[in-house]
Chains A and B, each alone.
Chain A
Amino acid sequence: MNTTNSISNQKLKWRVFNDKLFSIVMMTLAFISAVPLLSILYQLVKKGYKQVRLSFFIEVAPDTMQAMMAKANHEIIPGGIANGIVGTLIIVGMASLIAIPLGLLTGVYLSESSKGKMANIVRFVVDMLQGVPSIVLGVIAYIWVVKPLTSGFSALAGSVALSIMMLPSIIRSTEETLKMIPPTLKEAALSLGVPYYKTILKVLLPTGMSGISTGIILGISRIAGETAPLMLTALGSSAINLDITQPSSAIPLLVWEFYNDPNLVNLIWGASLVLLLIIFLLNIVAKTISKKWKVQY
């Protein structure tokens, strides 16, 4: 009796030990993932904060010669990323103009016809679009816009690539948000004789506003840092360019250009820092909206 007791005791201890060990290993592994994040942030802030002055936002990127001269005289490299900021605003803005109306429309369609063959096919296609690599969308925009429409690299082509990229997340968030709204709300409106389209525009969409706008902002933050598709479409430009049929710069494109130019390479940090801050800000805004404007029925 005594021996079996001690054996089961030992076994119990072993099981408890295993349990503890597993928890510790799991928590350690989970939080080790913070190390790269902190390392990236530290590197960007440490090397980049000096460059982020006012002139960094209002001057265009320097050319190699200017940077070389400044370096030879041990001065700070002049210039900034204004051409990238303006380019990003235009390209992302136009992409949103294309993607938001189409995304909302499709999202409403999917939530309104939850069954049906057509809706299921569309859902399937949206799932598939979500997985298409951004570089492939760059190739597509090149073939669709750069070659036939603008006969050369253009901001518009970049916007087309990015708009296809942000569509799935807008469609999905719209559909999911609208589906969560209780059907009684819609039925109440309809029973009062409100036309169907008004019910959707004045009842459903405003009620789902927070979820939908969160989806849109997250979609924007997802495309703001995209580089690869823009390399094949917007190409880059050393000046501020407001003409959407001409090549345009963007902040991620500038990071890539600086990286490839030994004289400008120091500017990667400031440019990346600004890009990261913009994206994080968008994420925070999206989170705040989804928290503060919780739908109330």
Chain B
Amino acid sequence: MKSERLFQYFLKLGGVIILIVAIGIAATLIVGSIPTFKEFGLNFIFSSDWNPTEGRESYGALPFIIGTIATSILALALTFPFAFSIALFLGEYFKKGRMSSILKSMIDLLAGIPSVVYGLWGFYTIKPIVVELGLNAQGFGIFTSAFVLAIMIIPYASSISAEVINMVPSQLKEAAYSLGATRFEVVKNVIIPNAGSGIFAGFILAFGRAIGETMAVTMLIGNSNKIPSNLFDLGNTMASLIANQFGEAEGLKYTSLVAMGLLLFVITGILNLIGKMVMRKFTA
């Protein structure tokens, strides 16, 4: 009996370690960013001046927050028609069969491609097209990175949505069909109202992914520290700034980058929680 107890404690140890790791992450980020918040207060979030020149040091995250949100929202908007179509395809139109397994493995492949490879593709394939179209002189910028991000998040947005669409009770659909509804009408009047919140959750989770994405964005956004004036302008995101400047950072700059990490952690954490909570309600 004693060994029984012991084993149960041992199992619990795993959970305890996970909790310690999570609390440790949050605490490390908070402690690490204290000097920055002491120096700049909330100005760290609302100031748009990122200036590492000694003596006139000033760190404001606003351009990067705006850059991050602009890229991610644009990516989400670009990905929506495609991810939603894939979700309907897999969750309703072709649940089984060759067509669906081809599409499924395609999405698995898309999910497997590393971020840095997406970055290369964006640089050598998408950037020249953006220049050709005259959208932006150098081809870098918010739009270019959002375009590549949109493709990167297709798997996340579509797989959850497909699952949710698949869970819509068939009685509801059959009832609509028996009343003479066409498939499109079933999608519009039965599936979307029923699966809507789950689809929303899938896209929220994909949004969180887009916000934290680093490499592809670093390679394509142009890394300018100003607030972008339009969607084709150069910009920078929080994740990309950390990747670029963390290596040689010290003092206030270092703590400001940690503070940037804290912001990212909080934003993606909140998005993730909203997404999971909606999903939980859906599956419960």
Contact = CB atoms under 8 A, between A and B. Distances in A.
A138 B112 CA distance: 20
Interface in A150-207: 164, 167, 171, 195-197, 200
Interface size class of B (residues with CB under 8 A): 35 or more
Contacts of B261: 135-136, 139-140
A18 interface: yes
Interface in A31-83: 31-34, 36-37, 39-41, 43-44
Contact of A136 (B19, B93, B183, B265): B265
B117 A276 contact: yes
A134 B235 CA distance: 21
Interface in B164-212: 182-185, 187, 205, 208, 211-212
Contacts of B233: none
A255 interface: yes
A132 B268 CA distance: 6
Interface stretch (A89-97, A208-216, A222-230, A238-246): A222-230
A170 to B, nearest CB: 11
Given A23-B93, A33-B82, A129-B22, A232 B272 contact: no
Contact of A102 (B17, B24, B28, B89): B17
Nearest to B112: A279
A227 B120 CA distance: 13
A287 B154 CA distance: 20
A30 interface: yes
A125 interface: yes
A283 B112 CA distance: 8
B19 A122 contact: yes
B183 A126 contact: no
Interface in A80-117: 102, 104-110, 112-113
Contacts of B213: 133
Q: Is the interface of A mostly helix, strand, loop or mixed?
A: helix
A225 B114 CA distance: 5
A121 B271 CA distance: 18
Contacts of B264: 133, 135-136
Interface string B224-253: 000000000000000100110011000000
Interface string B69-113: 000000000000110011011000100000000010011111011
Contacts, number: 240
Nearest to A44: B117
A127 interface: yes
A107 B18 CA distance: 11
Contacts of B106: 33-34, 37
Nearest to A126: B18
Contacts of B88: 26, 30
A121 B15 CA distance: 9
Given A127-B272, A228-B239, A19 B183 contact: yes
B239 A133 contact: yes
A149 interface: no
Contacts of B11: 105, 108-109, 112-113
A139 B246 contact: yes
B269 interface: yes
B124 A43 contact: yes
A232 B246 contact: yes
Nearest to A197: B7
The 10 closest A-B pairs by CB, nearest first: A133-B212, A225-B114, A131-B272, A105-B14, A106-B14, A29-B85, A228-B214, A19-B182, A197-B7, A122-B15
Interface of A: 15-16, 18-19, 22-23, 25-34, 36-37, 39-41, 43-44, 102, 104-110, 112-113, 118-119, 121-122, 125-140, 142-144, 164, 167, 171, 195-197, 200, 221, 224-228, 231-232, 252, 255-256, 259, 268, 272, 275-276, 279-280, 283, 287
Given A27-B85, A27-B93, A252-B114, 18 more contacts: A19-B182, A19-B183, A26-B88, A29-B86, A128-B273, A131-B269, A133-B211, A136-B265, A138-B242, A225-B113, A225-B117, A227-B215, A228-B239, A259-B120, A272-B116, A275-B114, A279-B113, A287-B108
